[in-house]
Amino acid sequence: MGWKGYIAKKVAITALTLFILISINFFLFRILPGDPARLLFKSPKASKEALAYIRERFGIDKPLWVQYLIYIRETLVGNFGWSFVYNEPVMNVIARRLPNTLLLIGSAAVVSTVIGIILGAIAGWKKGTKTDFIVFGFSIITTWLPSFWVGIILLMVFGWRLRMFPLGGVTTPAASYPSIFSYWADVLWHMTLPMINLLFWYLGEYVLLMRSSMLDVLAEDYIVTARAKGLKERVILIKHAMRNALLPVVTLTTINLGFVVAGAIQTEIVFSWPGLGRLMYDSLVMRDYPLLQGAFLILAICVIAANFFADLIYGYLDPRIRVRGEE
């Protein structure tokens, strides 16, 4: 299969997957319990006329198939509906939370990827040594520990007990900043604990995957040949072993980047970080179906797009993938 044919096939599969996902996204939130119209009223004694007006205002009085067609049409033009709770377009609400999530989760993903690749490569290269034992054991522990539990411990020790870091938020309330540097210093101060929590969550899988990939590569004949030629161990590690061991890590990295937009819901809830993950949780609690649908759809689109680009990168780096597609 040629490169263009490989791309065309992946585009078709991605488009079909996206359509199925959009349809599931519509019906999934229609089966949630509760009447959205009643939830908008604090008083249980809302009149029938008021409830009818709300249902008509938000289009939930129409037959399900009509709502579905309207939903497909509006989604294709980038209109994800009107928030029940915030009383404004869904995209406006999401746009306010999105930068916070991109900053926190994106930074943690990049840092953990770099550190994980380095530690995993060293552990695989030093297999059976004390270094391998320490790195491997640490990775297993970080993978096993629940992220919400680690977050609570970090808050209790460094936030409440030692008073070293704030307990939540992005910036200090009512603070004035003499310069842009003082503003970002405050943001980084608030971001430290949630970012450490996310590093624990991300780091383990990168280390374990890179270590496993390194062990497979080190068993190849060209590594033995490189050593027989008298090349330095550092050259063999960087130019031969690590480059070929990165292929599985590329896939994991692109997929994890797809989850960046959704954020780590548990981390954002524990640290009161006003991002998209926290917004999804609040939308579920308040039964704000359009907002929850919009946030979920953006998450799904990002994951599908990440898988698509991972397939393209993998197919470009390893032509054998395209050959298998013909079978």
**Residue 90 within any structural domain of the chain:** no
Q: Tell me, yes or no, whether 91 lies in a domain.
A: no
Q: Is residue 233 part of a domain?
A: yes
Length of the chain in terms of residues written = 327
pTM for this prediction: 0.76
Q: How many CB atoms lie within 10 A of CB 308?
A: 20
Contacts of 100 (CB under 8 A, 6+ apart): 170, 273, 274, 275, 276
Q: How far is CA 259 from CA 253, 277, 301, 307, in A?
A: 10, 10, 10, 11
Question: Got the DSSP string for 256-269?
Answer: HHHTTTT--HHHHH
Number of domains comprising the chain: 1
List the domain range (segments joined by +) for residue 235: 3-12+100-326
Q: What is the pLDDT of residue 128?
A: 86
In a domain, residue 65? The reply is no
pLDDT at res. 263:
55
Q: What is the pLDDT of residue 271?
A: 92
In a domain, 24, yes or no: no
pLDDT of residue 189: 94
Please report whether residue 72 resides in a domain.
no
Type of residue at 279: L
- Residues of the chain below pLDDT 50: 327
- Which residues have a Cβ under 8 Å from the Cβ of 277 and sit 6 or more positions away? 101, 262, 263, 264, 265, 266, 267, 268, 269
Compute the radius of gyration of the chain from its Cα atoms: 24
The predicted-structure confidence for 16-59, as pLDDT tens digits, reads as follows 888 888 888 787 766 666 666 666 665 566 677 777 777 776 66
**Closest alpha carbon to 23 in 64, 71, 60:** 71
Is residue 73 one of the residues assigned to a domain? no
User: pLDDT per residue over 144-192, tens digit each?
Assistant: 888 888 999 999 999 999 989 998 889 888 888 888 999 999 999 999 9
Longest dimension (CA), the chain: 86
From the number of C-beta atoms within 10 Å of its C-beta (0-12, 13-18, 19+), residue 211 rates as buried
How confident is the model at residue 15, as a pLDDT?
86
Q: Which two tokens stand for residue 226?
A: 């490189």
Q: What tokens does 151 get?
A: 């977050």
Whole-angstrom distance, CA of residue 152 vs CA of residue 128: 34
Tokens 């991605």, residue located? 14
What is the domain-level CATH number for residue 185?
1.10.3720.10
Q: What is the pLDDT, as a whole number, of residue 294?
A: 86
Would 177 be classed as within a structural domain?
Answer: yes
Q: Which long-range contacts (CB under 8 A, 24 or more apart) does 241-247 make?
A: 241/121, 241/124, 241/125, 241/214, 241/217, 242/117, 242/121, 242/214, 244/217, 244/220, 245/121, 245/124, 245/210, 245/213, 245/214, 245/216, 245/217, 246/117, 246/210, 246/213, 247/213, 247/314, 247/317, 247/318
